[in-house]
Amino acid sequence: MSSRRTYADAIECLNTLQSNAAAIEAVRAKGPINDDKIMPEMLDYLKRTGYKAEELNALKVIHITGTKGKGSTSAFCSSLLTTIAPDAKVGLYTSPHMVAVRERIRINGKPISEEAFAKYFFDLWDSFDAHPELLYPHTPPKPAYFRYLTLMAFHVFLQEKVDATVLEVGIGGTYDSTNIVPKPLATGITALGLDHTAILGNTLQAIAHQKAGIFKRDCPAITVNQVPEALAVLEDRAHELNANELRVVRESPDVADVKLGLAGVHQRSNAALAVELVKAFLASPAVPPVFRDRKASSKPKAELIRHGLENARWPGRCQSVADRQPTRKGVQWYLDGAHTVESLQCCADWFAGESVAQKRGAKRILVFNCTSGRNAESMLGSLANTMHQKWQSAEADPPARLFDHVVFCTNVTFASGSKAELMWKAIDPKDLVALKVQHELADAWQKLAESPASPVGSDTQVHILPSIQHAVELVEKVNGEAGQTDVLVTGSLHLIGGIFEVAQLEFAL
């Protein structure tokens, strides 16, 4: 490793903390996360970096979890806070990243610089080396990838003296690495669904129980409307954990006629939740002075809320990007990191509305990948059926096939391998070489095509490809023949990030 300790050096070290496929499979095999050692271990890691849990209260946290929409809700919250108080410093911690790791740690919507990332990364690295004592005999000397970045985000935000922090949960809630802040100012839960079930359990009630673990004593607990069985669990947990209320957000006049900065009808629910979380934050006695009584602003609060929602940006979520490369003139990319049945329905509804069926001259391509273990047929069926229904309800004449080409590729960035920041060890190398998941997806698509009631169409060309570069090259070839091509990329945020990188699409860090 370079003695200069550059950003590249930091990424190289960080990648050594990733869990490999075997380790992840062992966690899944254990079933629901309920290890009582998880949070004491995280607190011990925090102590070894030189902080106490109570010091995290200075971050003035809005804590957000959920199955889908938690990243978008976090982005709305960050935008609202910086709009309401332009002089404030607002930290935002999210996952995963798409192009650069430092996207995960932002201040006022902007990722920290490469220089700052390297500095703060090695601050922690040295702290762990200087304090090698472990709480438990089998505790790793350094925390795993996500834990490390969570601790680093806390370190960055404390050192940079942020006035507020929007903190997105990684997975779950109760045992998530972010859940060591003793007193957040507001907690929120986005829409719940059956996601990450191999880890959290196989019922919606179990998922709701885990997510509600972020509720804290005397802290507002706010959720979007949920199905009754999930809402009942959230109510019980709010009472059990002594949250001072459970508020259910259904409709918000603050959102009704606003052109949101994030596309998709489903974003209205996320925006409404963000507004209520920010209002709860502002109502807290602990809110920093920079957010109070902004007499310098001539705009009413409602107007500030509107601007905050309009100005929110969150790449890779229902995002349409025109390809500017001369060799792909006419390609329009539709990018959405949907990775559950419910979120794919929202994605399909958005894409079907954007990529109009009457554009008979345009080719349509689906580029798709997902995590191993997910129900490929359900996910792809949800996508296909929603698109078909959308076109039928619009009284358009649905085409004979939804897509001319369907591409199932890995998340490997280039034919020669992955960019360091887009390198993931979670997939068994043997499965990756054999394109195991991609063949499963192709088989699922074929079953859908063979179903008499399926809108998929039997003459779609299906491609199984080893990298994102191969997928982009196919798009370029198809577009060269058609001159106009709409490409939907979905199923994985890592896939979206790779498309941004390989296709050199405009990506605002």
Coil, strand or helix: which one is 42? helix
pLDDT at 26: 54
- Lowest-confidence range among 79-83, 185-189, 381-385? 381-385
The lowest-confidence range among 104-113, 364-373, 441-450 is: 364-373
- Measured CA to CA in angstroms, residue 86 lies from 51, 245, 507 at distances of 29, 30, 24
Mean pLDDT of 230-242: 97
What CA–CA distance (Å, rounded) separates 465 from 443? 14
Mean pLDDT computed over every residue of the chain: 90
What pLDDT, on a 0 to 100 scale, did the predictor assign at position 287? 95
The pLDDT of residue 292 is 81
**pLDDT above 70: percentage of residues in the chain:** 91
> Helix, strand or coil for residue 406?
strand
- Give the chain's end-to-end CA distance (angstroms, integer): 27
**Residue 347 token pair:** 């994605």
CATH architecture of 7-18+36-310: 3-Layer(aba) Sandwich (3.40)
pLDDT exceeding 90 applies to what percent of the chain? 74
Q: Among the CATH numbers 3.40.50.2300, 3.90.190.20, 3.30.413.10, 3.40.50.620, which is that of 319-503?
A: 3.90.190.20
Return the pLDDT at 244: 85
**Residue 255 contacts residue 275 (beta carbons within 8 Å):** yes
Residues in Cβ contact with 269 at an 8 Å cutoff, skipping those fewer than 6 apart: 69, 190, 191, 224, 249
Cα 230 from chain centre: 22
Beta bridge partners of 364: 486
pLDDT recorded at residue 453: 75
**Residue range(s) occupied by CATH 3.90.190.20 in the chain:** 319-503
Beta carbons of 89 and 174 less than 8 angstroms apart: no
Say whether 451 sits in a helix, a strand or coil: coil
- Binning pLDDT at 50, 70 and 90, where does residue 59 land? very high
Mean pLDDT calculated for residue range 284-294:
87
The whole model's pTM is what?
0.93
Residues of the chain with CATH 3.40.1190.10: 7-18+36-310
CA–CA distance, 78 with 91 (Å, rounded to integer): 8
Most confident of 131-140, 383-392, 470-479: 470-479
Is it the case that residue 197 has pLDDT exceeding 80? no
